A and B are shown apart, each in its own frame.
Chain A
């Protein structure tokens, strides 16, 4: 996916709810408009990151799956 991230968070190996908790903490420390690349191995995070973005208002620019890794690009909206 051709998106440039300002910061990368590797949440590999973590189970629910830690991927979204780490994501929240990372996004809290970023500036509006910046993009976080989050990597997870938890299949549940495909649904959870979408739900998290929908609730918090941050923008999920896209996600991709490769070799058991789920990669999300999240833009801080506020």
Chain B
């Protein structure tokens, strides 16, 4: 291994939609498979990803998302049921491309030793208790994440 390369990846997951939840998990598990040390800090809406039973039920917002492969005017996206329709569409594309489910990537991350840090402050703000979250997490704050990241980590925010 080249000695001039960093061995750490520090990720902030701050959003809780289906499309924003994938990149942190894909990069975290890939980095761990490349023998890197990885930590993901789940904060604000990102913490919702880790609520028990939630990870495979995340949704895609059809509003204010002009990059959707099938463009949807905002006024249509506002109609009842459109979030569910956009989510179903995305899920079917993911399934067709045989992309792993988020729950599978979460288990893989744990198995490969990725540190999953739940933000204590977000738990306080959103009234989330430790028992509301999946097993195998650490609970910490900004300093926990920053201490890890300060050792020459690549840092990514989603």
Partner-B contacts on A (CB < 8 A)? 13-18, 20-21, 23-24, 48, 51-52, 54-57
Q: In this assembly, does B100 line the interface, its C-beta being within 8 Å of a C-beta of chain A?
A: yes
Partner-A contacts on B (CB < 8 A)? 1-2, 5, 26-27, 29-30, 32-36, 97-100, 108, 112
Q: Is the CB of A20 within 8 A of B30?
A: yes
Known A-B contacts A55-B34, A55-B35, A56-B35; the reply to A17 vs B5 at CB < 8 A is no
Interface on chain A toward B: helix, strand, loop, or mixed SS? helix
Known A-B contacts A17-B29, A21-B29; the reply to A56 vs B97 at CB < 8 A is no
Q: Most chain-B CB neighbours within 10 Å: which of A16, A18, A23, A57?
A: A18
Q: In whole Å, how far is A24's beta carbon from the nearest beta carbon of chain B? A: 4
9 A-B pairs in the complex with CB atoms less than 8 angstroms apart: A15-B97, A17-B27, A17-B33, A20-B30, A23-B33, A48-B30, A55-B34, A55-B36, A56-B1
Q: Which residues of B contact A48 (CB under 8 A)?
A: 30
Interface on chain B toward A: helix, strand, loop, or mixed SS? loop
Query: Which residue of chain A lies nearest to B36 when distances are taken between CB atoms in the complex?
Result: A55
Q: Which residues of B contact A13 (CB under 8 A)?
A: 98
A17-B29, A20-B30 are known contacts; what are 4 more A-B pairs with Cβ within 8 Å? A16-B26, A16-B99, A56-B1, A57-B1
